[in-house]
Structure formats: C-alpha cells, structure tokens
C-alpha cells in the first residue's frame, strides 16, 4: 500500500516522487508541521537556467537554494555524535552530517555529487533510524531526463551518468539500502525549469553543441 496520495496534487505534478515504507504517511501524520514546511519549500523552488550555467562550486547554488528554503523554518545541518561501547572501551563513531534536520526528520539534497553519496545518505538514514533518532528520511535529487536540458545549455558534461540522479537512486532504495527507515524521494523535473537568462546565452550554448561539442557525459 502506498501513501503517496497524501502528497498535494500541485507538488505531485511538478516532482517525480517515490517512497519506501509509507514514508509520506509517516511524515504527514507524525510530523505535520515539518510536512507542511517541506511542501512550502518544494512549491517555492524553481530550476533556473542561470544557476545551471553558473560555474561549479563545492555546493551549487541550486542545492544551497533548496537548503535555504528550509533554514528559514528552523531546519539545520546536523551531525550526531554516536559511539560504540565494548566492555570498558568507547569508540567514537560520529555520523555523516545531514543537510537539513528538524524534529526527527532528516533531509538530504543531492543535486550533482558522485552517485556513491546516495549510499552514504541511505546508510546514515538506516543507522539513525535504528538508533531511534529519526522517524523518516528524505532525499531531493534531480530527474534523469533533465540531461536533455543540460545538453541544450552546453552543460551536459558537468552532469555525468555517474553523478546523483534518480536512476542511480531508485535501485539502491529498492535494494533495501535504507534498511527499515521510511524514505521519501522528490525528483526535480523539467516542469520546474525556468529559463531566466537571455535567449542569446542559450543560443550560444546551442551553437557550441552544433559546432561539435555534443559528446554525452560519461
């Protein structure tokens, strides 16, 4: 049984959505305030051509923009200090940082990292759920078919097949990578795309591709 019918229709029309272990139901019923804040953030987000075209940084403007939409509601980056005790020996074993955390809800934004980052996120969710620290985990990533837009903007090589996108995530989820943790996935689709740059910029990118720079990202 799926609980994706709980996602508002306007959100469902803009994002590719998947869940594991009825995550939407867990989030909406057990954490209604966090659910509403996530819905508000998703409604506000747009995939801007200007941010796709911006030079690469450690964390893209797109990812930081998604984070900031939640930060204003009190979500924060969080690292949990965990440890393992064997007899009298304690070994510190801190978790990886979670991009956005609030009230037992953990959310990661994976826009254009190497795809093993999905393994890290899912392992983190599994561990934190088993330790009864979180009730649900969320991942926001990009839909795989956005590659058409990236190619048209001349940025296809920056978004390779071995980076974080939906086709790399789903097999990991369906294979049980998150253990028993309920997980909700939102894929940023082309319906969110906003061409907020001068048409000449896009035409120049098209011309560069037509001129021979049309090799697909590896």
Domains of the chain, start order: 4-210 (3.40.91.20)
Bridge partner residues of 76 (DSSP) = 101
State the CB neighbour count (10 A cutoff) for residue 46: 15
Of 49, 107, 52, the closest CA to residue 74 belongs to 107
Q: What is the pLDDT along the chain (218 residues), one digit of tens a residue?
A: 799 999 999 999 999 999 999 999 999 999 999 999 999 999 999 999 998 988 765 567 777 888 888 999 999 999 888 766 677 777 666 578 999 999 999 999 999 999 999 999 999 999 999 999 999 999 999 999 999 999 999 999 989 899 999 999 999 999 999 999 999 999 999 999 999 887 566 556 555 554 444 433 32
CB 159 within 8 A of CB 12: no
């Amino acid at each position: 049984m799926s609980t994706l019918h709980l996602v508002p229709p306007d959100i469902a029309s803009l994002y590719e959505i998947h869940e594991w272990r009825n995550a939407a139901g867990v989030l909406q019923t057990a954490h209604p305030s966090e659910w509403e804040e996530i819905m508000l953030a998703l409604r506000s987000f747009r995939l801007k051509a200007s941010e796709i075209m911006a030079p690469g940084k450690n964390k893209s403007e797109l990812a930081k923009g998604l984070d900031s939409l939640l930060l204003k509601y009190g979500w924060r980056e969080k690292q949990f200090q965990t440890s393992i005790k064997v007899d009298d020996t304690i070994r510190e074993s801190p978790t990886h940082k979670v991009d956005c955390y609030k009230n037992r809800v953990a959310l990661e934004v994976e826009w254009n990292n190497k795809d093993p980052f999905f393994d890290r996120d899912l392992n983190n969710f599994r561990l934190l759920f088993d330790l009864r620290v979180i009730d649900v985990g969320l991942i926001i990533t990009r839909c795989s078919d956005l590659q058409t837009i990236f190619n048209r903007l001349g940025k296809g090589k920056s978004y390779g097949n071995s980076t974080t996108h939906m086709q790399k995530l789903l097999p990991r989820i369906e294979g049980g990578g998150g253990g028993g943790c309920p997980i909700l996935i939102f894929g940023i689709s082309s319906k969110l795309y906003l061409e907020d740059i001068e048409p000449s910029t896009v035409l120049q990118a098209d011309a560069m591709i037509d001129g021979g720079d049309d090799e697909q990202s590896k």
